[in-house]
Chain A
Amino acid sequence: MPVITYRDALNQALREEMQRDDRVFLMGEEVAVYQGAYKVSKGLLQEFGEMRVVDTPITELGFAGVGVGAAMAGLRPVIEFMTWNFGVLALDQVLNAASKMLYMSGGQYPMPMVFRGPNGAALQLSAQHSQAFESWLAHMPGVKVVTPGTPYDAKGLLKSAIRDDNPVLFLEGEMLYNTKGEVPEAEYTIPIGKAELKREGEHCSIITNGKMALVAMQVADQLAKEDIRVDVVDLRTVRPMDVEAITTSVQKTNRAVVLEEGWELAGIGAQVVDYIQRECFDDLDAPVIRVHQADVPMPYAKNLEKLAKPDAAKTIAAVKKVMYLD
C-alpha cells in the first residue's frame, strides 16, 4: 500500500471528490495560485480552473458567507481557513448561518459544505495561533466535527465530509501535514461518527482525537515495553461522538485516561468523562484522569510551550496513576 503524507491524502480526497461531482469547489486564502498555504490544494487550480478553485481576500467572515450562499444555491463548497485561528472570524457564519440553516428554513436548505483548515498548536506560533477549537465547535448542534489524526483517516473522512449534506467542520493539523501513513489506492470512505481502536490492550483505555491520537499510539508502544497494554480509542469524529466505542473499551479495561489537545474546562474530555461516568459507573476501578493543555494562553517560549502542551510523558504518568502504579 502506498505511504503518503497527510497533506497528499487531503489533496487526493479533494481531487477525487471534485472529479466525482462538479458541484464541489474549493475557496479560501491562497488556495489557488499559491497552491495552498500548506500546499494541500497543490495542482487543483491547474486541473479544475479558477471557477472551482477560488482565491479570496483576507475576509474569513465574507468568504464563509459566500460558501453558505453557494450551498443554499445547490453547490457543495469546501471553505479552507488558513488556520482555524483565523476561522474564528467566520464563526458567525458557521454558528448562525450554516449550523442552523436546515433547521430554521424548515428543512428547505441543506448545507452540504465543509469548513476545513489546520487546528491546534504547531511550534512556537504563540498564544493566538496555537489554539485547539474542537470543543468550541463541537458545542453547537447542527454541525459535524471531524478531527482525523492519520493520512488514512484524513482522506477517508474528507471524502465523507464532502459528500455529507450537513456542514462539516474539518480540523487538520500543521504538525500533521508532513506525517506519513499507508493510504490505499482504491476508493474508500470512512463513516463520520465512528471511532477506531488504534491499539488494543486490556489494562487501560486512552480516549483521544486528532493529533493526540499519534501521541496516544506512542504512549501505547512505550507502555507495551513495560508490559502495560492499553486500548487507544481514536474518536476521529467528536460530533457526533462514538459513545459505544468509549464504553466498550472502558468496560473491558475498567480505567480510562482522556487525552485532548485543548484546555481543560468544558473540553472534549469533559464530555467523554461524562459518558463514562453515566455508562460505565460500575466498571470503574479508578477515577478517570484527563490530560490536556495547561490552562494558560499558549506560551511562545519553547520550554514553557513544551510544559503547557499535553504529551506522551504526561499521558504515561496518567495511565500509571489510574492503574495505581505510581
Chain B
Amino acid sequence: MATKIFMEALSPTMEEGRLVKWLKNEGDAVKSGEPLAEVETDKAIMELVARGDGVLRKRLLGEGESSPVGTLVGVIATKDENIDSLLADGGGAKQPEPKPDNSQPKAESREPKAESPQPRAATPEPKAESPQPMAAEGSRAKSSPLARRMASEKGVDIGSLQGSGPGGRIIKRDIESAQTSGPKAASQKPRAEGDYQDLPLTQIRKTIAKRLSESIGPIPTFYLTAEFDLTRVVETREAMLELGDEYKVSINDILMKAVATALAQHPEVNAHWLGDRIRLFNRVHLGMAVATDDGLIVPVIFDADSKRLSEIAKESRALAKLARERKLKPEQYTGSTFSLSNLGMMQIDHFTAIINPPEVGILAVGAAADVPVVVDGELHTRKRLRVTMSCDHRAVDGAVGARFLQTLRRMIENPLMLVF
C-alpha cells in the first residue's frame, strides 16, 4: 500500500518548510523511520522521515522549494504499484487538515475531528502502511497517560517531543530518552520534591503586577547593574590552563557555572511568570543566547547547577555549534528557566537584554576590561566585568534581584565557592 509523504510540522510553530535536500532518490528503497529529506523549519534544519516501507516512487517538491505544512511532497509505494491516482489528486492537493478555530490560540485549536475523512493516525496497526502524517495532520500531540504524567513530573515539555509509538504517540520510552539526552544526564543531587513549586499570587503581588504592567509594556522590566572583580576568575582560569589544554575553560563558562549555582540558591528569580501564579523551579535550566546568521536562538543547558564546570564548558560549545549550524532540536531550545546573554566578545561594555518570557530574568554580560580601582586607598588596575540583570517586576522586586546579584558577586569574586 502506498504511503503519502507530507510536509510535516517539525517544530511546534512551523507553518511552512523549505526542502533543503532530498536524502533519497526516486527508486531508492526506504524503510519506515528512515530520513527522506532535510527540511528547514522556522527554527532549524530537521529530518523528514518515512512513515512507511517501500520505494520512494515520486518526489514532488524540488530541493530549495518551500511548501506549507500538510502538502503532499512525495509518495512511497511498492515497486510497481500504480500511484497515478495519488499523484492526480495530490499534485497540489493539501493533506486535509482540521479547520483551525480562529477563536482559539493555535496550539489549542488542534483538536482531532472525529469525522475528518482522512486516514486517521489512530488506526490500530502500528505498521506504517497508512500515511500517519501525525504531526502535519494538525492534531494535538498524542501521548499515553503515563507519558503525560511522567512529563509533568519531570518537567519535560511533551509538545517538543516526537513520539515513537503508533501514529506518533508519545510513550514512556520517549520521555525517558528525552530525559537522558536532556536534563537527566547531569549527576543528580537531592532536590526539593518535584521539579518546581507553584506559588499562588498574593493580593499585593497581583496589584504590583497589574499596576506595573500598565506603566510599562506587558513585562514591566527594571534593570540592576553590577560590576564584578574578575581577578580571581582570571587566576583560576590561568591556573587551570597550566594543568593542560583539557582544563581550558572560558570566563563565560565560569560565569555560567556561577549563575547556575546562584540561581539554585535563589529560586525566586529561577522562575516563570504564568499569569495567575509564579512557578519556582527546583532545577536550573540555563538558556544561553547564541547569535547565528539567521538571528538569535537560546539553547538550554539543562540542570546546569548540578553540572561540573567542564560539562558546562563542553555542552555550551556543542550547543553553540549546533545553533550556528541550525541543527538544534526543539527540545534543545525550550524549557529554560533563566537566560544569559553575553556580548563581551563583541566589545560591548554594558547592555540590557530583553526578558525571554515566561522567564522572569535575564543577565546581560559585557566585556571584561582592565579598569582603575581604588583598593585600600591606592590606585590599582583590576579586570572587571559589568553585568545587568533585567527583572520582570511582576515577579521579582528590586531587593530580590539585588540579593541574587550579591550571591553571584560572591561566587565570581571567590570562584573556589563553585567547587565547594
Contacts and interface: CB of A to CB of B under 8 A. Distances in A.
Nearest to A251: B146
Given A324-B164, A324-B166, A283 B126 contact: no
Contacts of A283: 145-146, 149
Given A284-B144, A285-B144, A286-B165, A324 B149 contact: no
Given A324-B126, A324-B165, A254 B149 contact: no
A283 B171 CA distance: 11
Interface of B: 126, 144-149, 164-166, 171-173
Interface residues of A, number: 10
Contact of B149 (A282, A286, A321, A326): A282
Contacts of A136: none
Interface string A284-295: 111000000000
B416 to A, nearest CB: 45
Nearest to B164: A324
10 contacts: A282-B146, A283-B146, A284-B144, A285-B145, A285-B147, A286-B171, A321-B126, A324-B171, A324-B173, A326-B126
A282 B145 contact: yes
A126 to B, nearest CB: 32
Majority SS at the chain B contact face: helix
A34 interface: no
B132 to A, nearest CB: 14
A188 interface: no
Contacts of B173: 324
A326 B147 CA distance: 19
A281 interface: yes
A285 B171 contact: yes
B326 to A, nearest CB: 31
Contacts of A282: 145-146, 148-149
Contacts of B147: 285
Given A324-B164, A324-B166, A285 B126 contact: no
B53 to A, nearest CB: 14
Contacts of A324: 126, 164-166, 171, 173
A304 to B, nearest CB: 24
A312 B126 CA distance: 21
A282 B146 CA distance: 5
Contacts of B149: 282-283
B130 to A, nearest CB: 15
Nearest to B127: A326
Nearest to B173: A324
A285 B143 CA distance: 8
Nearest to B171: A285
Contacts of B148: 282
Contacts of B166: 324
A24 B123 CA distance: 56
A131 to B, nearest CB: 28
Contacts of B171: 285-286, 324
Contacts, number: 30
A285 B145 CA distance: 6
A249 B145 CA distance: 17
A114 B172 CA distance: 46
A284 B164 contact: no
A200 to B, nearest CB: 20
Nearest to A284: B145
Contacts of A286: 144, 165, 171
B124 to A, nearest CB: 9
Contacts of B164: 324
A173 to B, nearest CB: 31
Nearest to B172: A285
Interface string A230-261: 00000000000000000000000010000000
Contacts of A321: 126
Nearest to B146: A285
A281 B166 CA distance: 19
A199 to B, nearest CB: 22
Interface string A266-287: 0000000000000001111110
A285 B146 CA distance: 5
B151 to A, nearest CB: 11
Interface in A282-326: 282-286, 321, 324, 326
A324 B171 CA distance: 9
Interface in A68-119: none
Contacts of B144: 284-286
B165 A254 contact: no
**Closest A-B pairs by Cβ, 3 of them:** A285-B146, A285-B172, A282-B149
B184 to A, nearest CB: 18
B154 to A, nearest CB: 14
A326 B125 CA distance: 10
Interface hub of B147, B148, B172 (most chain A Cβ within 10 A): B172
Nearest to A286: B144
A252 B148 CA distance: 16
B126 A284 contact: no
Given A321-B126, A324-B171, A326-B126, A284 B146 contact: yes
Nearest to B148: A282
Given A283-B146, A284-B144, A254 B172 contact: yes
A315 to B, nearest CB: 17
B232 to A, nearest CB: 50
Contacts of A326: 126
A35 B172 CA distance: 56
B145 A281 contact: yes
Nearest to B144: A285
A69 B21 CA distance: 84
Nearest to B170: A285
A218 to B, nearest CB: 25
A324 B170 CA distance: 11
B126 A254 contact: no
Given A254-B146, A285-B172, 17 more contacts: A254-B172, A282-B145, A282-B146, A283-B145, A283-B146, A283-B149, A284-B145, A284-B146, A285-B145, A285-B146, A285-B171, A286-B144, A286-B171, A324-B126, A324-B164, A324-B165, A324-B166
B171 to A, nearest CB: 5
A282 B150 CA distance: 9
A46 B165 CA distance: 63
Contacts of B165: 286, 324
A326 B148 CA distance: 23
A4 B329 CA distance: 63
A285 B147 CA distance: 7
A109 B147 CA distance: 52
Nearest to B175: A285
A272 to B, nearest CB: 17
A284 B147 CA distance: 8
